[in-house]
Amino acid sequence: MKVPVTVLASRLIAIALGPVLLPQGRRARRVIPRLPDAALPWSGSVEGPDPISILVLGDSTAAGVGAETQDDALPGHLARALSAQLGCGATWRAIGENGATSRDIIERFLGDASEQQYDVVFLSVGANDALGLRSRTAFRRDVRTIVRRLRSVSPAATILVSSLPAFQYFEALPNPLRWTLWLHSRSLEAAARAFVQGEPGVTMSPPAPQYTADFFASDQFHPSVTGYRDWVQFALAEAGLVPVRA
C-alpha cells in the first residue's frame, strides 16, 4: 500500500507548525479533564464452558479510562463478545497504563504480559506515540518487539493490534493540532500495518469510522462505556476474529 507523501512527512510538518502546536497542546492539557483509570480488579471472567484466556495490553484504553470498571471497558466487552461468538467462557486480564507509549509497554509491562499463555491478545498502543511524535521506524520496531515476544509465549494466540485513534474526529482538540495528530497517527499506523501484514495470526484493525455521538467519555477524548462496546464490535467484525485454541 502506497503511503502519501504528506503522511510520510508528518513529523516534518509537525515541527514546522511547532510555534502554533505547542501552545495548543499546552492548553489542551489544561482544559481536557484527566479521568481516572478503571477501578480494580483488572481481571475477570465470563461464565461458560472451556473458557478462552484474553489479554488486553496497552495504554489508557487498556487501563479502562472513561469507564468505572474494566468490566465496562475494553476487556469486559471483548470477553463477552467472544464468549457469545464462540459459545464458551472467558477469562480476561488488562495490563497497561494511561499515557504509555510502545516503548513504555516494552520496558514496564511486557514482562508481566509474557508470563502466561493467552488465546487472544488485544494490543492497544500508538496514541501516545503519535502525541510524542515518535518516528515511524521506532514505532514499527516497538510493535514488532511486543508482538513477537507475545507470540513466543503464546504461539497459537490470535493477536489483534488496534488501529490508532481517529484524531480527526477529536473535537476536544483544536486545529491544526487535531489535523497534525491525525496525519502523524496515519504515518505510525501505516508503518505498523506493514509489519503486521506479514505476521501469521496477527491482524490490525482498519482505520476507525466516524465515531458515534456517544462514543466519547466526559473528557471528549477517551471512550465511554458505549464507546468501548462499539470499538470491540467494530474491531471483531472487521478482523473476523476467531481464536485458534492451543
SS (H, E, C) 34-80: CCCCCECCCEEEECCCCCEEEEEEECCCCCCCCCCEHHHCHHHHHHH
Helical ranges in the chain per DSSP H: 5-8, 10-16, 18-31, 74-86, 102-104, 110-113, 127-131, 136-153, 177-196, 225-239
Cβ–Cβ under 8 Å, residues 224 and 67:
yes
d(CA 106, CA 125): 11
Cβ–Cβ under 8 Å, residues 188 and 126:
yes
Q: Give the residues across from 54 on adjacent strands.
A: 92, 120
The helix (H) or strand (E) run that includes residue 203 is strand 202-204
Domains and CATH numbers, the chain: 5-239 (3.40.50.1110)
CB atoms near residue 238 (< 10 Å): 17
Confidence (pLDDT) at 43? 98
The helix (H) or strand (E) run that includes residue 124 is strand 120-124
d(CA 125, CA 100): 8
Confidence (pLDDT) at 219? 95
Confidence (pLDDT) at 203? 93
Instruction: Give, rounded to a whole angstrom, the gap between the first and last alpha carbons of the chain.
Output: 33
Confidence (pLDDT) at 245? 40
Query: 113 Cβ partners below 8 Å, 6+ apart?
Result: 55, 57, 95, 121, 150
Confidence (pLDDT) at 246? 37
Regions of the chain where pLDDT drops below 50: 243-246
Query: 64 Cβ partners below 8 Å, 6+ apart?
Result: 37, 38, 42, 70, 72, 73, 74, 75, 94
Q: Which amino acid is at 173?
A: L
pTM of the model: 0.93
Confidence (pLDDT) at 3? 72
